[in-house]
Amino acid sequence: MGNDAALKIKENVSKVIVGKDRQIELLLVALVVGGHVLLEDVPGTGKTKTARALASSLDLDFKRVQFTIDLLPSDLTGIHYYDRSNDKFVFRQGPVFTNILLADEINRATARTQSSLLECMEEKQVTVDGETMPLPPPFMVIATQNPIESQGTFPLPEAQLDRFLMMLSMDYPTHEESISILKRYANSDPLTELQSVASPEDILKMRKDAENVFVSDLLYDYACNIAEATRTSNEVKIGASPRALLSYAAAAKALALLRGRDYCTPDDFKELAVPVLAHRLSVRASGAFSSSGSFVSQRDAAASVITGILNTIPCPTEDFSK
């Protein structure tokens, strides 16, 4: 079920987005887990289209909010207003009441507005004027930010970054992929004709199935060794938290399910280490220039640390099926 549905969804999204099978698969992992994704890349690389195509493929409600410095928390969550015709206060839902919320350029909003998403992302609910309202399942935040521009931006604090299951980059297309993009969009936008191939119920079913994916004790030990190594590394100021470790294991189980297995392998954990753990690390070398004179970003420095850890920790080699 998980593998068949995942293939259909990936093929459908690929009608709109060219050459991003890995990113689409990882977005699906996050959706199955119930996690959120931070897409960091330069403008024009397909971040918004990918989110829209994913929502259309699953018949999910989609809303986009452009984050700006004057955006208020109530602009996201909603407000109570006085309805004169009925002589009472009525709640007007904000854009967070959806299935997939695209928080575009999230780092352009103030910390106050950014923090208004914390309850939504962690508890899947909104509290306004003392009234708590659940968000419709499945709920997922896909946030974007431009890593190049810093003027007029407010960097996400560690507490907010830790709420994101993964941080991904769309990357530039290859020469062949660029040609395919030009041909595909020559006459029309394929997104306007995209039909759903799965339903929200399919995602909720896969979520339950993923919880039952088997993880051997050796792999739990392997995952813990990786997380603990980030905490003891001299290159890291703040390592992976227990929340990060839980997210790591849940993502590995979802990835195994989407690839048609009912058990995890070491490769699941290896493949997810950088997307799930790197953005949660505070690395000493980030924001500085390397010995070769090139600028080292937080993302690149953290990814380098994770890669080094994977190369040093012994990988289990036993049979991991039940």
> Rg for the chain (alpha carbons), in Å?
20
Last residue of a domain, one of 179, 203, 227: 203
CATH number at residue 268: 1.10.8.80
With 0-12 / 13-18 / 19 or more C-beta atoms within 10 angstroms meaning exposed / middle / buried, residue 83 is exposed
Answer yes or no: do 267 and 139 share one domain.
no
pLDDT at 288 over 70: no
Answer yes or no: do 191 and 228 share one domain.
no
118-160 pLDDT, tens digit each: 899 999 999 998 889 999 999 999 999 887 766 668 888 888 8
Last residue of a domain, one of 183, 203, 223: 203
CATH number at residue 59: 3.40.50.300
Question: CA torsion sign, 61 to 66 to 72 to 73?
Answer: positive
Answer yes or no: do 86 and 113 share one domain.
yes
- The answer to whether 258 and 2 have CB atoms below 8 angstroms apart is yes
* pLDDT confidence of residue 292: 43
Grade residue 2 by pLDDT with cuts at 50, 70 and 90.
Answer: low
pLDDT at 245 over 80: yes
> What's the maximum distance between 2 C-alpha atoms anywhere in the chain?
70
* pLDDT confidence of residue 291: 45
* pLDDT confidence of residue 285: 65
- The answer to whether 199 and 59 have CB atoms below 8 angstroms apart is yes
CA distance 301 to 284: 8
Q: Could you tell me the residue range of the domain that residue 250 belongs to?
A: 212-322
Answer yes or no: do 182 and 101 share one domain.
yes
Grade residue 289 by pLDDT with cuts at 50, 70 and 90.
Answer: very low
* pLDDT confidence of residue 286: 56
CA distance 242 to 233: 17
**Amino acid identity, position 169:** S
What number of H helices and E strands is found in the chain? 13, 13
* pLDDT confidence of residue 295: 44
Identify the CA nearest to 37 among candidates 18, 24, 20.
24
* pLDDT confidence of residue 226: 97
CA distance 214 to 62: 33
Answer yes or no: do 74 and 177 share one domain.
yes
* pLDDT confidence of residue 160: 86
Mean pLDDT of 277-293: 68
195-240 pLDDT, tens digit each: 999 999 999 999 999 999 999 999 999 999 999 999 999 999 989 9
Token pair, residue 219, equals 């792999």
pLDDT at 114 over 60: yes
51-104 pLDDT, tens digit each: 999 999 999 999 999 999 999 999 999 998 888 888 888 999 999 999 999 999
Last residue of a domain, one of 203, 234, 260: 203
262-278 pLDDT, tens digit each: 999 999 999 999 999 99
Q: Give the chain's domain count.
A: 2
pTM of this prediction exceeds 0.85 = yes
CA distance 186 to 90: 47
Answer yes or no: do 161 and 227 share one domain.
no
Answer yes or no: do 128 and 5 share one domain.
yes
